[in-house]
Structure 1
């Protein structure tokens, strides 16, 4: 699979699967080469500022108007959309789940989607949903696009081949992929079933965060994001196209594959990223910095510094701070945090939080290291130590995340999660300024 480097968000790319299919000097010639149709896919309003304007020109066998006729509504029962508030009966709490078991039944990327939380309002294009996907079967003649938002896909077990209108991408544990709003694609598991996480972003598209005083380098570097080269299906067989629009699902029958783009150019494209290329920064002397230093992508809101979504990771890194409590400190936060573990162990909760697992710490609910992690960090010999073989992440949003019925009734919900903080008892003694947990 060939991929082109993505030198920077907002820049244009061009690629063709057939030599000469891409027009030169203009976007929509009177007659496109090879009898193709010119079509623009826009991810932003036409009049968005140049730096935020998102569009790509596609040169395809048939225009998309041939793909979107005679829809009928269908049920995809486990994929939910905000606003979605259910009376599940669970009290306000911090939540944690063990992994969702892999099913025996045949499930595609669409039918195997299981929504855990929703936040915001799809009708006003704010907020997000956090899902788990369970894929055991390929989408052979089935295709999909999401009009409600872009999809951030985070595999945990197994690998996926994503065949989009603009080309092919393969991802596994440690990779992510973004499928833009409105882009047609299908998904195939590679080498066996695949499980992972999905963030469905209803708001402004993901982009790189500003680095501020960090400067020009580190965090996620633009050159490590890759877009696919042009690839297409020339298939004249009965196919189905499903569209998610305002939370409902609609399907239409077509007599051909919609992945018929021969060439394209523009800046509205799918892309993949290897999380292991993230270059973390951190404290070189003392104290534990805010987790925002681990932001890979951000989807901004209308308020500066307050994200619709931040995608944050906790990768391999050196811990060197002196005289410091090195794990994340205890805190309450205006943001709501849905967290998952891709592989390894998470240093703030080394037991009970396993790969494929999840936790939810909503707005202004306190959380932090469990008792075991607190004691370990409080008594550790503070030599430099490397956290190896670990990759956790957060979908963090300004909006409160509502549990779905599926999440509330999931058998892997840990009823005793809060017990991980048992033992964090009073240690205060005004006669002993130097506290020693030993």
Structure 2
């Protein structure tokens, strides 16, 4: 199969057409669009949002989105929840989960979503939902959109093709992808099955963090973000459109594929990013900076510097700090931290934190290296060391994260997690 082509540049005004001349020149909504297409604006922000933050895209499509049936309650997606979580009280406990297995029964992306935790309130556009996807079936004749928030995909196992209104994105472990709030898509398996994480962002759209004193280069560079070129479906038949709205799932009949956009122009579109392109900034002397230096994208809150959600990675990198305890230090944090592992070993937790698993350390809950890691790091010969076999990530939020009832009762929850610190010795000697 020929590799997909992409447009590049984060939040750029892109334009692309699958048929020559389908994109109008000089105006967005001409009296008649080429090829008999309909013009439709897709807005991810209010019309009057400041120019620097305004996100909208003009879609030139075979049929307008309004042509569909009425919605009725959808019976699937039984393990998906939306903030605020009311079925379970918030807990200060340190929590960890083993990987959930891929199911044996046929399950696509919609029914394969399992919510581990959430915070905030989707209705007032604050906070995040944290899900796993466990799928062994492609979406062929049904489509999905989420009116509650944009979706950040973090694949852990298996490759996916995201067929969106704007075109195709292929992603696998080591990639991320973001689909804007309200954009229709379907998920196609490129392997037998797939597992990964999803952050449902109810708040402000993800953007690139400021670099501050780092200067003009480093971290995630704008040019490395990839957007799809127009690739439309012209299919008629009996299809299903599923949407998530106000924390509930609904289903409607639709007589054609809604992925029928022949051309588009704008800056509200799905995108992907290869995490290996992240330019790690770290210490070359002693100590190590806060993990915020590993932030790839961030959803800001109404308080500058305090994020609704930061997406942070711990990728392969050199560790050279002199006379320094190199694993993450013991800490308590005003931010709440949900971690996942894509592959390899995370340097603070060498046992029990497995690829496909997860941990949650809420606001002010203490955490840090397990006892064996502390002893080894305290005695290590501090030569420059390359961390290669690792790729972990964190969803970090200013709001306390509440686990779901499923997360607290599943057999995948490691009830003995807190014991990983039991063997820490009293080394004090006055």
TM-score, normalized by length of structure 2?
0.98
Residue equivalent to 2:267: 267
Change (3 A) 1:162 1:91: closer
Q: Provide the rounded CA distance (Å) in 2 between the counterparts of 1:231 and 1:97.
A: 39
* Displacement of 1:91: 6.0
8 Å CA contact 1:295–1:311 kept in 2: the answer is yes
Per-residue CA deviation, residues 45-99 of structure 1 (Å, 9 max, x unaligned), is 00111100000000000011103x31101132111001112247x9641001110
Residue equivalent to 2:35: 34
Q: Provide the rounded CA distance (Å) in 2 between the counterparts of 1:3 and 1:364.
A: 45
Task: Provide the secondary structure at the position in 1 that maps to 2:156.
Answer: strand
Matches of residues 366-377 of structure 1 in structure 2 within 5 Å? 366-377=366-377
Per-residue CA deviation, residues 21-58 of structure 1 (Å, 9 max, x unaligned), is 00011000000000000000000000111100000000
8 Å CA contact 1:338–1:358 kept in 2: the answer is yes
8 Å CA contact 2:208–2:298 kept in 1: the answer is yes
* Displacement of 1:423: 1.7
Residue equivalent to 2:49: 48
Residue equivalent to 1:98: 98
* Displacement of 1:276: 0.8
8 Å CA contact 2:92–2:363 kept in 1: the answer is no
TM-score, normalized by length of structure 1?
0.96
Residue equivalent to 1:234: 234
8 Å CA contact 1:298–1:311 kept in 2: the answer is yes
8 Å CA contact 1:146–1:183 kept in 2: the answer is yes
8 Å CA contact 2:339–2:394 kept in 1: the answer is yes
Task: Provide the secondary structure at the position in 1 that maps to 2:349.
Answer: coil
Q: Provide the rounded CA distance (Å) in 1 between the counterparts of 2:46 and 2:88.
A: 37
Task: Provide the secondary structure at the position in 2 that maps to 1:65.
Answer: coil
Structure 1 gaps of 5+ residues are: 431-438
Q: Provide the rounded CA distance (Å) in 1 between the counterparts of 2:264 and 2:208.
A: 23
Task: Provide the secondary structure at the position in 2 that maps to 1:79.
Answer: coil
Task: Provide the secondary structure at the position in 1 that maps to 2:190.
Answer: strand
- Is 1:7 paired with 2:9? yes
Q: Provide the rounded CA distance (Å) in 1 between the counterparts of 2:412 and 2:344.
A: 19
Residue equivalent to 1:345: 345
- Is 1:180 paired with 2:180? yes
8 Å CA contact 1:5–1:223 kept in 2: the answer is no
Residue equivalent to 1:134: 134
Residue equivalent to 2:214: 214
Q: Provide the rounded CA distance (Å) in 2 between the counterparts of 1:315 and 1:126.
A: 28
Residue equivalent to 2:59: 58
Q: Provide the rounded CA distance (Å) in 2 between the counterparts of 1:256 and 1:321.
A: 58
* Displacement of 1:350: 1.0
Q: Give RMSD over aligned pairs.
A: 1.1
8 Å CA contact 1:288–1:327 kept in 2: the answer is no
Change (3 A) 1:301 1:356: same
8 Å CA contact 1:5–1:224 kept in 2: the answer is no
Q: Provide the rounded CA distance (Å) in 2 between the counterparts of 1:45 and 1:91.
A: 36
4+ residue segments displaced more than 4 Å: none
8 Å CA contact 2:88–2:403 kept in 1: the answer is no
* Displacement of 1:376: 1.1
* Displacement of 1:371: 0.7
Per-residue CA deviation, residues 252-311 of structure 1 (Å, 9 max, x unaligned), is 101110000000000000000000111101010000210000000000000000000000
* Displacement of 1:237: 1.1
Residue equivalent to 1:157: 157
The more displaced of 197-206 and 214-223 is 214-223
Q: Provide the rounded CA distance (Å) in 2 between the counterparts of 1:157 and 1:192.
A: 10
Q: Provide the rounded CA distance (Å) in 1 between the counterparts of 2:202 and 2:297.
A: 15
Task: Provide the secondary structure at the position in 2 that maps to 1:126.
Answer: coil
Q: Provide the rounded CA distance (Å) in 1 between the counterparts of 2:428 and 2:158.
A: 48
Number of positions where the alignment pairs a residue of Structure 1 with one of Structure 2: 427
Q: Provide the rounded CA distance (Å) in 1 between the counterparts of 2:235 and 2:314.
A: 42
8 Å CA contact 2:225–2:271 kept in 1: the answer is yes
Task: Provide the secondary structure at the position in 1 that maps to 2:242.
Answer: strand
Residue equivalent to 1:411: 411
Q: Provide the rounded CA distance (Å) in 2 between the counterparts of 1:109 and 1:219.
A: 31
